[in-house]
Amino acid sequence: MDAVQQTARSAGDAALAGLASGPAGLSAAEVRRRQAEFGPNRVEAARREPLWLALLREFSHFFALILWLAAGLAFVAERFEPGAGMAELGAAIVGVIVVNGAFSFWQAFRAGQAIDALRLLLPQRVKVRRDGATVEVEAGELVPGDVVLLVEGDKVPADCRLVESWGLRVNLATLTGESLPKARRAAEGEGGDPLQARNLLLAGSLVVAGECCAVVYATGMHTEFGRIAHLAQTAGDAESPLQKEIRHVSRVVALLALGLGVLFFAIGMAIGLPFWANFMFAIGIIVANVPEGLLPTVTLALAMATQRMVRRQALVRHLPAVETLGNATVILTDKTGTLTQNRMSVRELVAAGRHQLAAARWPRGGDLHLRAVARFCHSLKFVAGEAAGDPMEIALWRFAGEVPALGERSGEIPFDAERRRMTVTTRGDDGAGFVWTKGAPESVLPLCASWDDGGVSRPLDDAARAMFRRAHEDMAERGLRVLALAWKRQDAAGGEIEAGLALSGLVGLEDPLRPDVHDAVTRCHEAGVRVLMITGDHPQTAVAVAREVGIVRSASPVVLTGDMLRGMRPAALQLALDAPEVVFARVSAEQKMQVVQALQRKGDIVAVTGDGVNDAPALKTADIGIAMGLSGTDVAREAADIVLLDDHFATIVNAIEEGRAVFDNIRKFLTYILTSNIPELLPYLAFVIFGIPLPLTVIQILAVDLGTDMLPALALGVEPPGPDVMRRPPRPRGERLLTWPLLARAYLFLGPFEALGALAAYFCVLLAGSWNYGDMLAAGDPLYRQATTACLAGIVLAQMANLFVCRHPAEPAWRFPLTGNRLLLAGLATELVLLLAIIHTAWGQRLFGTAPLPAEAWAVALPFALLLLVAEEGRKAWCRRRCRPA
Ligand code: ATP
């Protein structure tokens, strides 16, 4: 042991002793005692704002301020013109603010809870030594004094002091913002700033290279990360592009409402309406048209979508990723483990010059060295006699069976995706040393000078190389992963470890496809989403697998290898990506980023999968980074927007479906709430133009917009994805939420139908009450009350019908079962109950100026509601026929 190691060792011992721990770790009893004393190792999410402040905010945002202003004006008006109903209007607006604020608060609260719940779903697991054994526990269970073992890709679970380390480098970006990795090693007594100390590992940082053993000295809120998390109370969540768009849309609509209010006020004044009545109406118009419910509904729609996604095994780490997913145009996917099951088994062998199918066990005979490579050359860990680690290595190790010991392991050159091979050396008691190498044939064959022909060593001449190459290609074309196995006796003279090897043979491993991957790829094609495979495997294997899952359908796809990418200019890569089918093979994780950027420059929205430390940059660069929950590293998960809990490709496709549904739902919601503006405005125009009594009072407008419409609109915001969501191309980049077709449908088609029904019911009551054109009616007149009630009932009934047709802009309403969305049923029920309460209860009649309706009024309003349904379904059918290709 040299001096440096000696110092490190004594520093490690001191670190352990300082925390009353030892190399064997803590005992179970001591862990329990410390857990009771120090509590769980959890950083409590610093509540960004206390609940009361969040509640207060719901009453003080832009829209609420407009409403407060309106209420204030109404109360002021009451002083000038007592008895004109101004105080009631003021009180009604305050009621609206309260109901709306409470509702929004509840929505935001529910959305927050849904997101919080997701955080608990993927607990971090850590290897720790306890009672002399290595066990895996949840990071939350760590206590000071625990001895943890960390390797490349792990997230540091608590603040630790290093005991031993090998080539350790950590990324402290979460703590310092600095993204360059820093070296860390066990050394004695470094005081000062923990962020700089080279013998400390801080919770939240990421191990990007090396391994270590460290002792925990601070957990939970006592860690540096906990301290920072506590301080960083002000850092709010970034607003998603969709939320920004919604904010924009609602401001535009609010200004429109303000403009309309002013315009109507001016018209009223011009035709000589009494000032205060006119003023009150203008306020009502403004209040009714301000889209208060929009923003919270969007947040809730996103949160509900994340919950549905998690039920389908996709965990969303950042809310905006949901909508970005809906826009994805390309999925760049790994092969092993995502398209395939990563359950390898040896299928074929090329040994002793013979290509043969593999039996359950390795064939006996002169293949001792071949089996020895499979048995010794791995980086597996053994827990209770069971091999754990890379499934391919496990398959080889199992297949080799027992092999006579050829000494103890004396060294290892670990697998690295650049070199595509690994080497292990062993040394026996007699001093005989061996080198065992396995890896991609292109990587191993150049190192070999001879090959084993059933125990006879023959030179690896051109003929032999050609024979192995043919066998390799033959296996690769059938989708097998091919490995070359080689060995040599290590001479005492030293020299290049991996030079002059003897090739023992090739093995072909099969990795079965995941069962429903083919369907998922087909769904992507139908949805206009391109699927590109990017793998470290051989080009032929890659194409064979791509063909099997349906990613490649043509005879000659473009295959780009890592070597080709290296020499390619960005523009050339961009052009190469124009080909309809492209497969990337023998590509390193670093090159993934190059591909992602090229696609982005082409205007694509890219979802990319990754699992290793090297994948992190590509995951961050992509529009949607997708990490593996089962096989991935903590580093990849930290960099990703979405974690696949089952590592399955089909889950990505399901998540895209949910993402698209969010956008669709917000449009349904908008169509629904915009429709009822027309039957609220047209009666007023009729009143102005034709001089009839005002068919709908301001308070009644408020009853619809902020009462009966609320829950049904919300229900549309959380609809499950429709059947056609994945049968149309991705939404063009930059397409607005509020489009002309949407506005035309709501304002020029659905709205006028509602207005027709409402006015028909209104006139039916008036005429039955022997009203004549030109008669003015007082506000308290029973006939007037009944007539306006009929108008109100006409609108609400039509909105109930509208709820069904709004479930899809093109497909018939009956395609969507009511049971698919329970909130919708609740919405319908509350809509009806509220309407009946407004008409039939004493307080409803007093507040909204209503009166019970004669049966004829219902008999007129109901068919009109049905007419809306029939007309809209007719329009949809016409559009479907017209748009269908001949
Ligand atoms: P994917 O990107 O689809 O997961 P992959 O797993 O094949 O692809 P890598 O892990 O980068 O990609 O492996 C690249 C190549 O390196 C493999 O095709 C194989 O030939 C070789 N290889 C992989 N793992 C090992 C290993 N443990 N030992 C030796 N060689 C290996």
Residues shown for the chain = 886
Contact predicate 709/295, CB 8 Å: no
What is the C-alpha separation between 504 and 451, in angstroms, rounded?
6
> For residues 848 and 703, is the Cβ–Cβ distance under 8 A?
yes
Q: What is the pLDDT at residue 607?
A: 94
Give the per-residue pLDDT at 405: 75
Classified by CATH at the fold level, domain 293-311+663-883 comes out as Calcium-transporting ATPase, transmembrane domain (1.20.1110)
420 CB near ligand 1 (under 6 Å): yes
The predicted model gives 8-33 an average pLDDT of 83
The hierarchical CATH code for the domain 323-341+514-647 is 3.40.50.1000
Atom of ligand 1 nearest to the CA of 393: 27
Q: Name the pLDDT band for 276 (thresholds 50, 70, 90).
A: confident
**Contact yes or no for 445/465 (Cβ under 8 A):** yes
Same fold, 3-44+122-234 and 323-341+514-647: no
Q: In this model, does residue 235 exceed pLDDT 50?
A: no
Question: Does residue 785 have its Cβ closer than 6 Å to ligand 1?
Answer: no
Per-residue pLDDT tens digits for 158-215 = 999 998 888 889 988 777 777 788 888 877 656 667 777 888 898 888 888 888 999 9
Q: What is the pLDDT of residue 474?
A: 93
- Is 243 strand, coil or helix? helix
Residue 704 has pLDDT above 80, yes or no: yes
Residue 415 in contact with ligand 1 by CB distance below 6 A:
yes
User: What's the pLDDT score for residue 763?
Assistant: 93
| DSSP labels, 53-87 | HHHHHHTTSHHHHHHHHHHHHHHHHHHHSTTSSHH
Q: If you ran DSSP here, which 8-state letter would residue 706 be given?
A: I
* Cα end-to-end distance, the chain, whole Å: 82
Whole-number pLDDT of residue 608: 93
Indicate which residue's Cα is closest to atom 4 of ligand 1: 336
Neighbours of 487 (CB within 10 A): 26
Average pLDDT over residues 398-424: 85
Cα dihedral 860, 866, 867, 868, rounded to 10, equals: 120
Of the segments 84-98, 659-673, 692-706, 770-784, which one has the largest average pLDDT value? 659-673
- pLDDT value at residue 284: 73
Structure confidence by residue, pLDDT tens digits, 40-79 = 888 765 555 678 888 888 888 777 887 888 888 888 888 8
Q: Could you report the per-residue pLDDT of 515-536, keeping only the tens digit for each?
A: 889 999 999 999 999 999 999 9
Task: Specify which of 145-149, 267-271, 368-372, 738-742 reaches the highest per-range mean pLDDT.
Answer: 145-149
The CATH superfamily assigned to 345-510 is Calcium-transporting ATPase, cytoplasmic domain N (3.40.1110.10)
- Could you tell me which residues come within 8 angstroms of residue 829 by beta carbon, excluding any fewer than 6 positions away? none
Closest CA to 445 of 406, 484, 476: 484
Atom 18 of ligand 1: nearest residue by CA position: 537
What is 173-185 written as a DSSP string?
HHHH---S-EE--
The arithmetic mean of pLDDT across residues 226-233, rounded, is 60
The pLDDT of 114-124, averaged and rounded, is 67
Q: Look at residue 697 and tell me whether its pLDDT is greater than 90.
A: no
Residue 539 near ligand 1, beta carbon < 6 Å: no
| Mean pLDDT confidence for 120-147 | 86
Would you state the pLDDT for residue 189?
Answer: 59
The neighbour count for residue 569, using CB atoms within 10 Å, is: 8
Whether the CB-CB separation of 129 and 25 falls below 8 Å is answered with yes
Rounded to an integer, the average pLDDT of 808-827 is 88
pLDDT of residue 50: 76
Query: Would the CB of 442 count as within 6 Å of ligand 1?
Result: no
The two structure tokens encoding residue 820 = 């698919």
CATH of domain 3-44+122-234: 2.70.150.10
Structure tokens at 166: 């090998």
Bigger pLDDT: 646 or 103? 646
Residue of the CA atom closest to atom 17 of ligand 1: 537
| Ligand 1 center–CA 613 separation, angstroms | 15
Give the residue extent of every domain in the chain: 3-44+122-234, 293-311+663-883, 323-341+514-647, 345-510
- Give distance in angstroms: CA of 417 to centre of ligand 1: 7
The Cα-based distances of 405 to 384, 409, 436 in angstroms read 20, 10, 13
Residue 293: per-residue pLDDT: 67
* Residues belonging to the active site: 334
Residue-averaged pLDDT of the chain: 85
Mean pLDDT of 224-231: 70
Give the confidence band of 885 by pLDDT, cuts at 50, 70, 90: very low
> Which ligand 1 atom is the nearest neighbour of the CA of 443?
20
Choosing from 418, 514, 537 the residue with most ligand 1 atoms within 8 A of its CB, the one to mutate for a pocket test is 537
- Chain segment 374-391, per-residue pLDDT in tens: 989 998 877 666 777 888
Q: Which two tokens stand for residue 269?
A: 């004044």
* Contact indicator for 27, 250 with CB cutoff of 8 Å: no
Q: Is the CB of 439 under 6 A from ligand 1?
A: yes
* Predicted confidence (pLDDT) at residue 250 exceeds the cutoff of 50: yes
Which pair of structure tokens corresponds to residue 672? 């629904």
Q: What is the mean pLDDT of residues 830-847?
A: 92
Q: Are 477 and 391 a contacting pair, CB within 8 Å?
A: no
Question: Distance from the CA of 794 to the center of ligand 1, in angstroms?
Answer: 68
Tell me the two tokens of residue 287. 């209040």
* Portion of the chain with pLDDT greater than 70, in percent: 91
Mutate to test the pocket of ligand 1, among 415, 436, 507, 626 (most ligand atoms within 8 A of CB): 415
Q: What is the pLDDT of residues 444-476, one digit of tens each?
A: 999 999 998 877 888 999 999 999 999 999 999
Q: What is the pLDDT of residues 68-98, one digit of tens each?
A: 888 888 888 888 877 667 787 788 788 878 8
Ligand 1: centre distance to CA 378 (Å): 13
What is the average per-residue pLDDT within 640-660? 89
At 639, is the secondary structure helix, strand, or coil? helix
In this predicted model, which residue has the larger pLDDT, 437 or 95?
437
Q: How far is the CA of 549 from the centre of ligand 1 (A)?
A: 20
Give residue for tokens 């051109």. 462
530 lines ligand 1 (CB under 6 A): no
The answer to whether 424 and 409 are in contact (CB under 8 A) is yes
Nearest CA to ligand 1 atom 9: 536
Residue 53's pLDDT is 83
Residue 751 Cα to ligand 1 midpoint, Å, equals: 61
Mean pLDDT confidence for 699-719: 86
What pTM was computed for the model? Answer: 0.79
Asked if 577 and 623 touch (Cβ cutoff 8 Å), the reply is: no
Distances (CA, A) of 160 to 131, 194, 200, 218: 19, 10, 6, 7
What is the pLDDT, as a whole number, of residue 60?
84
Q: Is 411 helix (H, G, I), strand (E, B) or coil?
A: strand
CB atoms within 10 A of CB 815: 11
Q: What is the pLDDT of residue 482?
A: 95
